[in-house]
Structure 1
Amino acid sequence: MHELRQHHYGFAHGILPQMATTMGPRLLDEPPPRGYDAALAAIWDGYGESLPEEARLDRPGLAGQLMERDGHRMLVVTLPPPTAPAEAYFAAVVRAPGAAACRYFTLEHTVSPIDGAEGTVLGGWADGSHLNYGSSGPATVENFVAAIVLQSGQG
């Protein structure tokens, strides 16, 4: 099993949720002039500069896309592939229908401590706390978006 990588974990569990809280609706309503991919790359690299050189990572696959599903407007971020439990495959800044504020979700890599089976879990943030919404399906954008819509409908 691999060790948690500070750059990957800190970006998905620190930088992006903070942006969702402080800039949420603007992230969804005012796309960056050079696009989400370029903006995310700059943020990833900028965060990496605050880390020791040996903790910095490349950003293969890092991308962002604006989506709408069942009235939910969201910025879905594809992260570099996770290699350790709690690292995320995807993250999303989400505004549910009629909501003024945004919520933040992740689809995280898991490994069972019992049998070593790999899986995913839907995570989220509320009032500064990291929440676990339970096991999720395959690590695909479609599954992630469906899980977010389902969870958002539950509160």
Structure 2
Amino acid sequence: MNENFIPVGEEYPHHNHLVHRVLRDVALDDPGATIDRLAHFDDALAFLGSLCQRVEQVCGLRRPMFFHPAFMPAQPQTIAGRRAVTVLMPPACFPTEAHFVAIVEGRPEDADAPDTEARASGGASPSVPAVPDEGWGDAPQATSGRYFTLEHVMAVDDAPPDTMLCEWRSGAHVNYGPGPEPCHDAFAEAIARVLSNES
């Protein structure tokens, strides 16, 4: 076994630190520039590589073999009429690890704080109230960009694992309730419903 790598199935901090701190802060600080860099393959590799290096400076060099930008393909697209990019993350096996991240270019009204209790897309029941998460630090607040995550939820008994559609917005980790299956199109459609319900 290569001691430089963490075995598959062993929990590690790199995933959450990248999703909920490093990439989050960069994306919300300048969503347009982040989308531009991730939209081009070579730029995306270099950009994500630099972010992974920042994560390793905090979390250590010993990491899973798949924690590498080559395993994090980015796909530019349009979601609800807005420029966006989605990023497939390394395999999510533990709570709050993300299957996907999406950066969506915002509009001026997006800089406003969300309702104190967000509702799941498609008219589902109310979700957990939006609250700051002290463990990940405050997210940038003066931004109109949107940063969505599709997070892993541990399975109960023999049921398959679930997902949770979430967003970092106005310094809070917003929970929109149960998410779709962890595939690209379903994630983009769920985000589109959230944005369409706001208009």
Instruction: Tell me the TM-score normalized by structure 2.
Output: 0.67
> Are residue 66 (structure 1) and residue 76 (structure 2) matched?
yes
The aligned residue for residue 165 of structure 2 is 122
The aligned residue for residue 88 of structure 1 is 98
Q: How far off is 1:5 after superposition?
A: 2.4
SS at match of 1:67: strand
Find 1:78's aligned residue among 60, 63, 88: 88
The aligned residue for residue 45 of structure 1 is 53
* Range with greater deviation from structure 2 (15-24 or 41-50): 41-50
The aligned residue for residue 19 of structure 1 is 26
Q: How far off is 1:76 after superposition?
A: 0.7
Task: Tell me how far apart the structure 1 counterparts of residues 80 and 108 of structure 2 sit (CA, whole Å).
Answer: 12
Could you report, residue by residue, the CA deviation over 1:74-125 in whole angstroms, capped at 9, with x for unpaired residues?
1211111111111001001112567682110001111145766411110101
Partner AA of 1:142 in structure 2:
D
Task: Tell me how far apart the structure 2 counterparts of residues 75 and 99 of structure 1 sit (CA, whole Å).
Answer: 20
Q: Is the 8 A contact 1:122 1:133 kept in 2?
A: yes
Q: Taking structure 1 as reference, are residues 5 and 106 closer, same or farther at Cα in structure 2, changes over 3 Å only?
A: same
Greater share of strand residues, 1 or 2? 1
Partner AA of 1:26 in structure 2:
A
Task: Tell me how far apart the structure 2 counterparts of residues 32 and 46 of structure 1 sit (CA, whole Å).
Answer: 21
Q: How far off is 1:3 after superposition?
A: 6.4
Q: Which has the larger radius of gyration?
A: 2
Q: How far off is 1:4 after superposition?
A: 4.6
> Are residue 142 (structure 1) and residue 150 (structure 2) matched?
no
Q: Is the 8 A contact 1:40 1:63 kept in 2?
A: no
Q: Count matched residues.
A: 153
* Range with greater deviation from structure 2 (109-118 or 20-29): 109-118
CA RMSD of aligned residues (A): 2.5
Q: Taking structure 1 as reference, are residues 22 and 116 closer, same or farther at Cα in structure 2, changes over 3 Å only?
A: same
Partner AA of 2:14 in structure 1:
H
> Are residue 7 (structure 1) and residue 17 (structure 2) matched?
no
Partner AA of 1:122 in structure 2:
L
Partner AA of 1:145 in structure 2:
A
Q: How far off is 1:15 after superposition?
A: 1.1
Q: Taking structure 1 as reference, are residues 69 and 47 closer, same or farther at Cα in structure 2, changes over 3 Å only?
A: same
Q: Taking structure 1 as reference, are residues 153 and 4 closer, same or farther at Cα in structure 2, changes over 3 Å only?
A: farther
SS at match of 1:66: strand
Q: Taking structure 1 as reference, are residues 114 and 37 closer, same or farther at Cα in structure 2, changes over 3 Å only?
A: same
Q: Taking structure 1 as reference, are residues 72 and 99 closer, same or farther at Cα in structure 2, changes over 3 Å only?
A: farther
Instruction: Tell me the TM-score normalized by structure 1.
Output: 0.84
Unaligned runs of 5+ in 1: none
SS at match of 2:176: strand
